């Protein structure tokens, strides 16, 4: 199980989860569902000194919508 730190590029809020634990591989362009029930597009992955950080797009209702929103934000 791998643990990722999370950074929300657009929906920053104190209630957002701080980490994601998963056993699947994650790459830029993927959609991930967090414990808050929303889906987010992975816009960037940063390698930190001790952790791996996922930079996430705006929240969405499902995986397909999360990918579309992320692509829109990246094209702006």
Cα-to-chain-centroid distance, residue 28: 9
pLDDT of residue 17: 92
In this predicted model, what pLDDT tens digit does every residue of 16-71 receive, in sequence order?
899 999 999 999 999 999 998 999 999 999 999 999 999 999 999 999 999 999 99
Which domain, by its residues, includes 24? Answer: 2-75
- Burial zone of 5 (CB within 10 Å; 0-12 exposed, 13-18 middle, 19+ buried): middle
Provide the number of structural domains found in the chain.
Answer: 1
Given pLDDT bands bounded at 50, 70 and 90, which one contains residue 6? very high
> pTM for this one?
0.90
From residue 19, how far is each of 6, 8, 10 by CA, in Å?
5, 11, 17
pLDDT of residue 66: 95
């Amino acid at each position: 199980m791998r643990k990722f730190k999370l950074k929300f590029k657009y929906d920053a809020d104190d209630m957002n989860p701080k980490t994601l634990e998963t056993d699947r591989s994650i790459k830029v362009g993927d959609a991930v569902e967090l414990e808050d029930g929303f889906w987010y597009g992975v816009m960037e992955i940063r390698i930190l000194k001790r952790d791996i950080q996922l930079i996430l797009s705006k929240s969405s209702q499902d995986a397909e919508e999360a990918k579309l929103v992320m692509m829109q934000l990246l094209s702006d």
